Amino acid sequence: MDIAALRAAHPEHWRLAAAIRVLTLDAVAAANSGHSGMPMGMADVATVLFDRHLRFDPKAPHWPDRDRFVLSAGHGSMLLYALLHLTGYPDMPIEEIRNFRQWESRTPGHPEVHHTAGVETTTGPLGQGLANAVGMAIAEEALRARFGAKLIDHYTYVIAGDGCLMEGVSQEAISLAGMQRLSRLIVLFDDNGITIDGKVSLADATDQGARFAASGWHVQAIDGHDPDAIDAAIRAAKADPRPSLIACRTHIGLGSSAQGTAKAHGALTDAQLIAETKAVYGWEHPPLSSRPTSRPAGRRWASAAPPPAPNGRHAWPPCLPPVRPSSAA
């Protein structure tokens, strides 16, 4: 992976993605616990998703027609917490990042719904988030069929890893999604080839792309560190009438001496490793500093929520159909 070339070709993207990676490194090191590698590997994918596609409003996290983002690989929770901080969620100031994995913080080791704004569902047990997301996509389809696309028009995005796809529940979920042709469900597969024990090939020989295709999914495989390829793949997924799997080939622990190894799966806490990795990123700001990470980067992120109504709530378009007693569920 030519990090220097990526930085040169996409400087603004790199700055945003590097902020996610550095917040992860510093928060995990401060807690002396966590999982550094996945957020470091998937930061490019997450940056493109949140910067160019995801429709959300940090000040109205329960806006009904927001896009849903599910981190099925919940052990990589710092990816989500960093994104919530960088995009300006009021409940995720830098103090919460500093308290990662600490008692009563909003940044527990695995994301918890109804505890942290911006978390759509509790994840951690591998495969559970993918199954939850299928349910969310079914709900979106049902609501859109009843109330129309002018009112209900959102996508459900999932980040899942090898472990999620090894679980039996994933097969039931993807079979159901394919059968129902859930066209607004997009799974971003962190295809890094590494598990906690070593290479994926030690435990699994499944061709995941073929498995999803056999279940009726649209399947693409891309370089998970190429912002333009990521963007094009998401656009192609949106244009297809089937649920989509985008296999993003990534490097776990990108830029560190542990890159591409099982060591990167867990907590990277060695001070020298962290310093060397930040040098590779071109990062010169103090650890867990809000100014160089959240606010300048936060101004670059742009959600696509509709403008608030005078009462502060997002205005629904005047297209609600009449609901009669006979049409009640």
Residue reference for tokens 């799997």: 245
Q: What is the pLDDT of residue 2?
A: 87
Q: What is the pLDDT of residue 326?
A: 44
Q: In sequence order, what are the residues at sequence separation of 6 or more whose Cβ sits closer than 8 angstroms to the Cβ of residue 145?
A: none
Write out the CATH class of domain 7-303. Answer: alpha beta
> Can you give the residue ranges of every domain in the chain?
7-303
Collapsed DSSP state (helix, strand, coil) of residue 247: strand
Q: Phi and psi at residue 124, in whole multiples of 5°?
A: 160, -60
* Cα–Cα distance for residue pair 207/173, rounded to 1 Å: 17
Kindly give the confidence (pLDDT) of every residue in the chain, 329 residues in length, as a single tens digit, with 9 standing for 90 and above: 689 999 999 999 999 999 999 999 999 999 999 999 999 999 999 999 999 999 999 999 999 999 999 999 999 999 999 999 999 999 999 999 999 999 999 999 999 999 999 999 999 999 999 999 999 999 999 999 999 999 999 999 999 999 999 999 999 999 999 999 999 999 999 999 999 999 999 999 999 999 999 999 999 999 999 999 999 999 999 999 999 999 999 999 999 999 999 999 999 999 999 999 999 999 998 898 754 444 333 334 545 555 554 444 455 555 555 555 444 44
Collapsed DSSP state (helix, strand, coil) of residue 225: coil
pTM above threshold 0.85: yes
